[in-house]
Each structure stands twice: as C-alpha cells, then as structure tokens.
Amino acid sequence: MTIYDELVARGLIAQVTNEEEIKNMINEGKATFYIGFDCTADSLTAGHFMALTLMKRLQMAGNKPIALIGGGTTMIGDPSGRTDMRKMLTKEDIDHNAECFKKQMEKFIDFGEGKAMMVNNADWLLNLNYVELLREVGACFSVNNMLRAECYKQRMEKGLSFLEFNYMIMQSYDFYMLYQKYGCNMEFGGDDQWSNMLGGTELIRRKLGKDAHAMTITLLTDSNGNKMGKTAGNAVWLDPNKTSPFDFFQYWRNVADADVLKCIKMLTFLPLDEIEKMESWEGSQLNEAKEILAYELTNLVHGEEEANKAREASHALFAGGGNNANMPTIELSDEDFADGDLDIMSVLVKAGLCESRGDARRNVQQGGVSVADEKVTDISTKYAKDAFAGDGLIVRRGKKKFAKVVVK
C-alpha cells in the first residue's frame, strides 16, 4: 500500500487540488510541504494531533516537512471557525509560545540536518511595506471571492474586522514565500483552511506561473460533529504541566464507543490490518480498544514511561488493582486545617473537583461524591487531618473526576 493510499484508508484526506499529481509527489517522496501553526497559546493541543501525525507519516515516507510558526500571522488572528475576534497577543508572548511549540514538535518530527525545517513567518511578514505589498499581490485577490469564503461567512453577521480580513492574504503570502525560498510545493491544513490555501496556490500561479498544491486534513470530530481535543470546554494540552499525562490518557480512554476506532485509525501508527480486526469488537472489547488508543497517544506525546504510569493509575482507580502512586495527587498543608477539620465541600474545592462550595454542595446532595469508595450524601461530613495521612484518601466526583488527597 502506498503512503497516499494509506492516508485515504485512514480517512485523513478531505480535499485536494490535483489528486494525481499530489499522489505521485507524496508516494515518490518528492513533496516539500508545510503546515502552519499560529502561536495563540504556550502549548499545542490534542487538536493539533492530526497535523503532527500527518507530518510524521509523510516524513517517514521520504517527504520533507516545513513547520511554519506563525509569528507574524498570530499578530492578526485567523477568523476560520470563529464567531468572535481572537485575543491580541504581544510579540513577546508570540515568541515565547513559538519556542514552546518547537520543543513539543520535536517529539513527532526529525529536525536534523537535511530533514524537517522550522520557519517563522515573522521573518518576512513583519518587515513588509504595506504599499509595496498592495502593489505586489493586491491585484491577485478578488474581494468578491474572499467574501464567499466559508471562513469569512461565519463572521459577517457579527462583524469582520479589516485586520482579520487580511489573514487570507497573509497566509497566501506565506505559501508564495516558502515556494520561492525553500521550493515548498504543497500546503496541508485543516479542512476549515481550504479557502486560505487556495488563495496561496492561486497567488503562486499568477505571480510565478508555477503549480503548487493544497490538501486538507479531515477535522477530528466526535460522532455528534463536535471538534475533539477539549474536555468540559477546556483544551487538552500536550504540555504535561497544563494537562497531566494521566489526564491526557483518561481523555482518550473516555472517548465514546462510536469514536474509538476512528481515532485509532486516524491518530495512531498501528497497522491498518490490526485495526481492521478491531472493527468487529463490541461491548467490553471496545474498552480494550479505548485503552489501546489512550496508551498509544500518551506514549507518542509523553513517552513510554509516562504512558505506563498513566495506565497503571487508571487500572488502580477504575479496575480496583494496580499502582495508585501515579494518580493525580493534591497535597494539603497545615494551613488548610487552621480552622479544624475540613468539611466535604472544602475537600472537593481544594482537590479541584468542584469550582465552588455551591457546586460541591449540589454534587454531594445529588449523590455524585464518594471518599475512599464510600458515598457521601451529608454536606456536614468532616475529615480530620489524620484521615489524609499516609496514602491519603481517594475522592471522586462523578464517574470520571477524582483526586488522591494527602497531607504534606
């Protein structure tokens, strides 16, 4: 099976500009391609997984990836998939975020001599002269066509700023510059980037008379059509300080039955014939598939040791065995007991399992809280400091939120 056929079989390809040419370039290892990453936070998220694993797959097949850090475009903000305007970041914030991205990408992509490249579009975008840019590329963009683009349509009702309107031109200019500087002949991106990517291929055709190609990656969505990579509205980060390896493992361990095989196929590097055997799995076998998914992705991001720890902690908590030393742990200090014993609501808040005492009260009264495997239904229940000594107490809220609470 060729690499292109494998991408199709895994359901990774959404749209392409010229399938035959793209297929030949990728299969023969002749593609120099780029994917852009805007530095809107100091960590990549699970939502970037598709792009990172695609870069890894294509590099393994002999193609050359360029990771384009959006030091310049981040200062504008991409309106794609947004109903509001992105927060403006300072240049210092963006530089810091770019450095964090680089460290995380190195786990997926080989940036060794003659291998992948990392480039920052701030190198050319921030020094552009506005009048010269208008004269150079302005005539290559039709405002009529731009306004028909899906990424702008979503914003027209609430108002699209001129700042964001320029994003397509900036992204197209990136492709134009990368083609000239590094022979980059292909751009990859999420399916919501299609209009921006076509702007780049058209700019290269009109300015240089050359063919460049674009391919979009299927967006990772659950069975309800919602983008995956967030939990309770919060991003699932690749930085272990923002999302612990255990929480990262649990996110994938808890995907819906309907989504697990799709995620294994699209995100892991397990052979397709092995995945095909799982397609007949049902019932408890799907839980095994979820654990395979969680382990493979945690291993990919955090390494084998952390993946093993996360799996052991998951078994200890949910299967009644294994080593609980690797569970998320909250340490209480003497100051927490300054007023005497702690009631259950304080324990839940201090453990980060509830946002407020009111939230904690509701969860206790609704029967969703247990301590040391015993349900707690009385909000006046109190715990002395000694109760958390030694291995501490495992406190749960609902089926999936918990913490081991100990005293320093």
Residue 223 lies in a domain: no
pLDDT classification of 339: cutoffs 50, 70, 90: confident
Length of the chain, in residues: 408
**Average pLDDT of the residues in 365-370:** 91
Q: What pLDDT is stored for residue 81 in this prediction?
A: 47
Instruction: Confirm if 217 and 21 have CB atoms less than 8 A apart.
Output: no
Residue 89 shares a structural domain with residue 147: yes
Return the bridge partners of 254, or none. Answer: none
Distance, in Å, from the CA atom of 146 to the CA atom of 206, rounded to the nearest integer, reads: 16
Q: What is the CATH number of the domain that holds 14?
A: 3.40.50.620
Angle, to 10 degrees, between the axis of helix 167-182 and the axis of helix 194-208?
50
Instruction: Confirm if 185 and 179 have CB atoms less than 8 A apart.
Output: yes
Residue 274 lies in a domain: yes
Distance, in Å, from the CA atom of 204 to the CA atom of 179, rounded to the nearest integer, reads: 8
Residue 49 shares a structural domain with residue 150: yes
pLDDT in tens, 116-147: 999 999 899 888 898 998 888 888 888 878 77
Residue 147 shares a structural domain with residue 254: no
Instruction: Confirm if 42 and 75 have CB atoms less than 8 A apart.
Output: no
In the block, which residue shows the tokens 């002395």?
A: 384
List b or e across 153-179, with b for residues whose CB sees 16 or more CB atoms inside 10 angstroms: ebbeeeebeeebbebbbbbbbbbbbbb
- What percentage of the chain reaches a pLDDT higher than 90? 48
Residue 204 shares a structural domain with residue 61: yes
What is the identity of the amino acid at 296?
Answer: E
Q: What pLDDT is stored for residue 72 in this prediction?
A: 80
Q: What pLDDT is stored for residue 253 in this prediction?
A: 92
Q: What pLDDT is stored for residue 82 in this prediction?
A: 45
Residue 224 lies in a domain: no
Angle, to 10 degrees, between the axis of helix 284-302 and the axis of helix 304-318?
150
- 3-state DSSP call for residue 145? helix
User: 100 CB contacts (<8 Å, ≥6 apart)?
Assistant: 42, 43, 239
Residue 202 shares a structural domain with residue 246: no
Residue 225 lies in a domain: no
Instruction: Confirm if 117 and 233 have CB atoms less than 8 A apart.
Output: no
Residue 118 shares a structural domain with residue 211: yes
What is the identity of the amino acid at 328?
Answer: P
The larger pLDDT score, comparing residue 73 to residue 185, is at 185
pLDDT above 60: residue 78: no
Residue 235 lies in a domain: yes
Residue 319 shares a structural domain with residue 355: no
Q: What pLDDT is stored for residue 87 in this prediction?
A: 60
What is the identity of the amino acid at 356?
Answer: S
Among 10-19, 134-143, 146-155, 237-246, the range with the most confident prediction by mean pLDDT is: 10-19
pLDDT above 50: residue 113: yes
User: Of 87, 217, 199, 218, which is closest to residue 152 (Cα–Cα)?
Assistant: 199
What is the identity of the amino acid at 305?
Answer: E
What is the number of other CB atoms lying within 10 angstroms of the CB of residue 144?
Answer: 7
Residue 51 shares a structural domain with residue 152: yes
Among residues 325, 353, 370, which one ends one of the domains? 325
Residue 167 lies in a domain: yes
pLDDT in tens, 40-58: 888 998 888 889 999 999 9
Q: What is the CATH number of the domain that holds 402?
A: 3.10.290.10
Among residues 325, 344, 378, which one ends one of the domains? 325
Among residues 299, 325, 351, which one ends one of the domains? 325
Give the count of domains, the chain: 3
User: Of 35, 37, 48, 99, which is closest to residue 72 (Cα–Cα)?
Assistant: 37
Q: How many degrees, rounded to 5, is the angle at CA 304 between CA 301 and CA 307?
A: 70
Residue 24 shares a structural domain with residue 155: yes
- What percentage of the chain reaches a pLDDT higher than 70? 92
Residue 291 shares a structural domain with residue 208: no
Residue 321 shares a structural domain with residue 333: no
Q: What is the CATH number of the domain that holds 282?
A: 1.10.240.10
Residue 144 shares a structural domain with residue 96: yes
pTM: 0.80
> What residue numbers bound the domain in which 362 lies?
329-407
Sign of CA dihedral 286, 290, 291, 292: positive
Residue 107 lies in a domain: yes
The larger pLDDT score, comparing residue 47 to residue 20, is at 20
- How large is the greatest C-alpha to C-alpha distance in the chain, in angstroms? 77
pLDDT above 80: residue 181: yes
Residue 92 lies in a domain: yes
**Average pLDDT of the residues in 89-109:** 86
Name the average pLDDT for the chain: 87
Distance, in Å, from the CA atom of 363 to the CA atom of 232, rounded to the nearest integer, reads: 16
